[in-house]
């Protein structure tokens, strides 16, 4: 049946969009943009037809939700940072069949989930920013999954991620990439101090923990990382409580995954937060614990 061809943890900082525009930040996020272009290129080479994004900018308070409309289009302005991303046009095809298959697979695994194919839900910028650099030609279909899961358990998000993998492999005839779209540590610059932290992490503690985490990722030590994920997310203000990362790891085998990541864009600070683009090599899914 279907194939999970590529998995990645990606940045989506809105300053990437600013980096395109004339002004003081022009070019400042080129490394992150180039990383997205590279990941998009890899997806094309692998024959990916659909990108599934675990988007930490889509907040949900109950259950797991999949936005699998047939078509997405509009003009986006961020309600949280309207001075960073505004009036950004977008248009991408969707994939209702894959979204429905993911919901069915998750429900069968006991993770209450809902696919929304006939919906007015729009996309958030955790999806729109990477798609801007990877999918401007609408080459890939897009499915967006809520990953700011405010009252959810990280282990359950891991099981949801596993169900995504099983939906792709058992109930979909195609080739898919999955992205965890979110940061590492995520303490935003305090109000009034944004310029000071434009290219910095908020605190040395957060930066040091992020660097240690990246060492674990480069060593493929997922046993240690999965054990520390809840505390890491809590103490380092993980974006969306890091449910994007839990879903990604669930799709790869959670703490039985053993691959070292490939860093595509090295760690960088942005408005106080810690960011990275990294590919997680896909290996056969280990049996459930
Ligand atoms: Fe974000």
Question: In terms of residues, how long is the chain?
Answer: 289
Mean pLDDT throughout 58-83?
A: 96
Q: Where are the domains of the chain?
A: 3-280
Percent of the chain scored above 90 by pLDDT?
Answer: 95
For residue 77, the CA-to-ligand 1 centroid distance in Å is 14
Fold annotation for 3-280: Protocatechuate 4,5-dioxygenase; Chain B (3.40.830)
Q: How does residue 288 score in pLDDT terms, banded at 50, 70 and 90?
A: confident
For residue 108, the CA-to-ligand 1 centroid distance in Å is 31
Q: How far apart, in whole angstroms, are the C-alpha atoms of residue 90 and residue 154?
A: 31
Say if residue 239's pLDDT is above 80: yes
For residue 126, the CA-to-ligand 1 centroid distance in Å is 6
For residue 239, the CA-to-ligand 1 centroid distance in Å is 7
At residue 54, the pLDDT reads: 98
Q: How far apart, in whole angstroms, are the C-alpha atoms of residue 59 and residue 69?
A: 18
At residue 246, the pLDDT reads: 98
Ramachandran angles phi, psi of 8, nearest 5°: -155, 150
At residue 287, the pLDDT reads: 87
For residue 55, the CA-to-ligand 1 centroid distance in Å is 9
Mean pLDDT throughout 93-104?
A: 98
For residue 171, the CA-to-ligand 1 centroid distance in Å is 31
For residue 215, the CA-to-ligand 1 centroid distance in Å is 22
Say if residue 103's pLDDT is above 80: yes
For residue 186, the CA-to-ligand 1 centroid distance in Å is 8
For residue 18, the CA-to-ligand 1 centroid distance in Å is 15
Say if residue 267's pLDDT is above 90: yes
Determine the Cα angle at 272 with ends 267 and 273, to 5°: 45
Indicate the average pLDDT of the chain. 97
Which of 3-12, 20-29, 144-153, 265-274 is least confident?
20-29
User: In this structure, what DSSP letter does residue 4 have?
Assistant: E
DSSP H or E stretch at residue 107: helix 96-108
Q: How does residue 72 score in pLDDT terms, banded at 50, 70 and 90?
A: very high
Alpha carbon distance, N-terminus to C-terminus of the chain? 24
At residue 190, the pLDDT reads: 95
Phi-psi region of 10 (alpha: psi -120 to 50; beta: other; left: phi over 0): beta
Q: How does residue 187 score in pLDDT terms, banded at 50, 70 and 90?
A: very high
For residue 82, the CA-to-ligand 1 centroid distance in Å is 13
Q: How far apart, in whole angstroms, are the C-alpha atoms of residue 251 and residue 267?
A: 23
For residue 188, the CA-to-ligand 1 centroid distance in Å is 10
Mean pLDDT throughout 100-107?
A: 98
Q: How far apart, in whole angstroms, are the C-alpha atoms of residue 285 and residue 288?
A: 9
At residue 255, the pLDDT reads: 97
- C-alpha pair distances (Å), 11 with each of 114, 121, 162, 180, 199: 26, 22, 22, 9, 14
For residue 170, the CA-to-ligand 1 centroid distance in Å is 32
pLDDT tens, 116-139? 999 999 999 999 999 999 999 999
């Amino acid at each position: 049946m279907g194939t999970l061809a590529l998995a990645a943890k990606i940045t989506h900082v809105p300053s990437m969009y600013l980096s395109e525009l004339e002004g003081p930040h022009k070019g400042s996020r080129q490394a992150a943009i180039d990383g997205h272009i590279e990941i998009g290129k890899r997806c094309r080479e692998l024959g990916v037809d659909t990108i599934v994004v675990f988007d930490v900018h889509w907040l949900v308070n109950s259950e797991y939700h999949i936005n699998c409309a047939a078509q997405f289009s509009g003009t986006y302005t961020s309600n949280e940072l309207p001075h960073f991303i505004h009036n950004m046009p977008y248009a991408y095809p969707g994939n209702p069949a894959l979204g429905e298959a993911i919901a069915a697979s998750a429900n069968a695994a006991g993770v209450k989930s809902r696919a929304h194919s006939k919906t007015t839900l729009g996309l958030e910028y955790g999806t729109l920013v990477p798609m801007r650099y990877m999918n401007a030609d609408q080459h890939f279909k897009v499915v967006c999954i809520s990953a700011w899961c405010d009252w959810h358990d990280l282990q359950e998000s891991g099981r949801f991620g596993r169900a995504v993998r099983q939906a792709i492999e058992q109930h979909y005839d195609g080739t898919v990439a999955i992205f965890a779209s979110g940061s590492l540590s995520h303490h935003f610059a305090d109000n009034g101090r944004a310029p000071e932290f434009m290219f910095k992490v908020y605190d040395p503690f957060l930066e040091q923990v992020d660097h240690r985490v990246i060492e674990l990722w480069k060593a493929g030590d997922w046993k240690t990382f999965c054990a520390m994920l809840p505390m890491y997310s809590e103490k380092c203000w993980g974006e969306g409580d890091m449910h994007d990362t839990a879903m990604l790891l669930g799709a790869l085998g959670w703490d039985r995954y053993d691959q070292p990541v490939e860093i595509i864009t090295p760690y960088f600070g942005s408005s106080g937060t810690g960011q990275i683009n990294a590919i997680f090599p896909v290996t056969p899914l280990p049996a459930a614990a």
